[in-house]
Every structure is written in C-alpha cells, then in structure tokens.
C-alpha cells in the first residue's frame, strides 16, 4: 500500500504531505464519540428489564419444612397440655363421680320395686344378647367407640333415618345413672367423658351388671330381674336364648316394644338380636334359626 502511495505521488508530481487533523479536531471527535456511547448506554438501560434473582429451590423447601415442623410442635404441645389437664384435673373428678353409680343404680331399682342382681346371677344368654345388639365392640373399646359412631352415622345416612345408635354401654349407663338428659352438645360431651371414666374405674363385667340393672324394659320393669319376672315369670338366671333375645330388644324403645310384645316390629327386632348373636359368635346359626322360629309364651295378662 505504501509503495502504491509513493507511485501515485511520484506520478502526479505532487509532493505535498497528506492532511493531518489538528488538535482541536481530535478533541471534538473524541467528545462526540464519548457522548454517543453515553446516550446508547442510557437508552439500553431504560428499555432493558433485568429479572430479579429468585431464591434457591432448596431454601424454599427448607423454609416450608421449618414452618410445618413449627406448627406440628405447637399442636403437640397444646395436645400434651390438654392431656395433662384431663389426667390430673378433670379425670379424677369424673372417676370420683362414677364411683357412685352402683349406689345410684341400686337405689333406683329398689325404689321402683325391682331387685338388684349381680352379673353371676344373670343368664349368659342375656349378657351375650345385650352386647351383640347394643355394643358388639364392648370388650374392645375404652368406653367410647369412634368406629361405632362412624358406622352408625353411615348407616343412618344411607337409610335416611335413625336406624342405629352409636352409644356404647358405658355411655348409656352414664346417661341413665348421672346425666339423664343429653340433648345438648355439652351434655353429650359430658356423657362421653363419664363413659371413659366408667371404663377406667370398673371391669367390663361390672359395667354390664350395672347396665342390666339400670335398664328399663317396659311394663314397669326396672332391671333385668324384674323384666324376666314380668314378661316370662322366671328367674333372670334361667332365661332361654329366645327369651334373652326378646329382653335385649326392649331397651331401645321399652314403652313401645313392651306394650306390644307380639307386634311384627318387636319380632323383627328380636330376630335381629338373634342374628347378631350368631354373627359375633355367641350362638351358632342353627341355634339362631331355631330361636327365631320359637313361639314365646308371655306371663303378661294381655300380651
């Protein structure tokens, strides 16, 4: 390139050196260049959105985990405090209250002309029949049976009417001996608490004994002994399977079933008791079928 320039200069005869910009021109060009770059930078900064940095995924997970653990710990502490209160403050009072049940039941039976009997004096047929129809999980729950309540709610909702109750024998005993009226939510909760205390204070045999003495069977019969005498003219220890099934059917609605012992609804209820006794292993299917076909003879004046 340099050789070409020298050739052009030589050929043209012009030896004037090439034009060089003066200092002022250099300064002006430099200032213009710097101003253009500054404007371009400001424009780019104005129209460019930079996404903010997001927290790391692991940090978010750890934060959620810490919150969850904190909630669980707080709930656990609250439950522990409630449990301590129930065990050391509320429960002792309940257990003191339920210790009076045998005295209350005996007084009620005697006041209504009945006879208090012990569990050993009651026919096993009646003991089995009551457990089968009223509370088949009696020997497995602690006085309160959540499974029984859920089952009763499901059956009643499915049939769209009250077909089964969810009360345990302990709850029924607490209602008859102490609470009497459990129509309010507070009374129902108190009944459940007393049922738990009953289960803690007494054996299952004693609870069953108190229940059968406290139950009303209709026809003015308070207690199992009076019921056996009124309906069949026999001792409660000598009840047959069909007789025991009939008596076990009465506590659900004693005033209705007791007044019409031969009514179809009562017979159906008695047969249900027998089916449940066979279902839960207290009698065989053959015994249940024979008892269902047995005609009962009542000692009532106009059965």
**131 found inside a domain:** yes
The answer to whether position 26 is within a domain reads no
Q: Which residues contact 287 (CB under 8 A, 6 or more apart)?
A: 241, 278
Look at residue 303 and tell me if it is in a domain.
no
Is 191 domain-assigned? yes
Q: Is residue 243 part of a domain?
A: yes
- 48, part of any domain: no
- 157 located within any domain: yes
| Closest C-alpha among 275, 265, 220 to residue 109 | 220
Count up the domains in the chain and report the number: 1
Supply the CATH number for residue 207's domain.
1.10.3810.10
Cα–Cα separations (whole angstroms), residue 1 to 5, 6, 7, 16: 6, 9, 10, 18
Domain with 243, as residue range(s), is: 85-292
Q: According to the model, what pLDDT value does residue 72 have? A: 87
Identify whether 162 is part of a domain: yes
pLDDT in tens, the chain (303 residues): 444 444 444 444 444 445 555 555 555 556 555 555 555 555 554 545 555 555 567 677 778 888 888 888 888 888 878 767 666 666 677 888 999 999 999 999 999 999 999 999 999 999 999 999 999 999 999 999 888 777 666 765 665 544 445 689 999 999 999 998 888 998 989 999 999 999 999 999 999 999 999 999 999 999 999 999 999 999 999 999 999 999 999 999 998 888 889 999 999 999 999 999 999 999 999 999 999 999 999 998 876
The model's pTM is 0.70
The per-residue pLDDT for 59 is 75
């Amino acid at each position: 390139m340099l050789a070409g320039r020298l050739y052009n200069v030589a050929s043209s005869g012009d030896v004037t050196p090439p034009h060089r910009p003066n200092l002022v021109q250099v300064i002006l060009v430099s200032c213009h260049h710097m101003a253009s770059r500054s404007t371009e930078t400001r424009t780019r900064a104005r129209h460019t959105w930079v996404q903010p940095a997001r927290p790391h995924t692991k940090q978010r997970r750890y934060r959620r985990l810490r919150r969850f653990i904190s909630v669980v710990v707080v709930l656990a502490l609250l439950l522990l405090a409630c449990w301590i209160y129930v065990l050391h403050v509320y429960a002792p009072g309940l257990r003191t209250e339920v210790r009076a049940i045998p005295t209350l039941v005996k007084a009620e039976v005697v006041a209504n002309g009945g006879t208090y009997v012990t569990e050993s004096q009651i026919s096993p047929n009646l003991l089995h029949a009551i457990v089968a129809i009223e509370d088949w999980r009696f020997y497995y729950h602690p006085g309160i049976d959540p499974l029984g309540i859920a089952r009763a709610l499901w059956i009643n909702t499915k049939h769209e009417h009250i077909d089964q109750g969810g009360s345990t024998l302990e709850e029924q005993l607490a209602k008859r001996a102490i609470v009497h009226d459990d129509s309010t939510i507070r009374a129902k909760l108190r009944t459940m608490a007393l049922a738990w205390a009953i289960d803690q204070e007494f054996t299952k045999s004693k609870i069953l004994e108190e229940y059968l003495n406290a139950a009303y069977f209709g026809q003015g019969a308070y207690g199992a002994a009076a019921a056996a005498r009124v309906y069949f003219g026999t001792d409660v220890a000598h009840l047959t399977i069909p007789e025991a099934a009939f008596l076990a059917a009465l506590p659900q609605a004693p005033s209705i079933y007791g007044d019409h012992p031969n009514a179809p609804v009562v017979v159906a209820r008695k047969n249900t008791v027998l089916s449940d006794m066979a279902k839960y292993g207290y009698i065989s299917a053959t015994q249940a079928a024979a008892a269902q076909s047995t005609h009962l003879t009542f000692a009532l004046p106009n059965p």
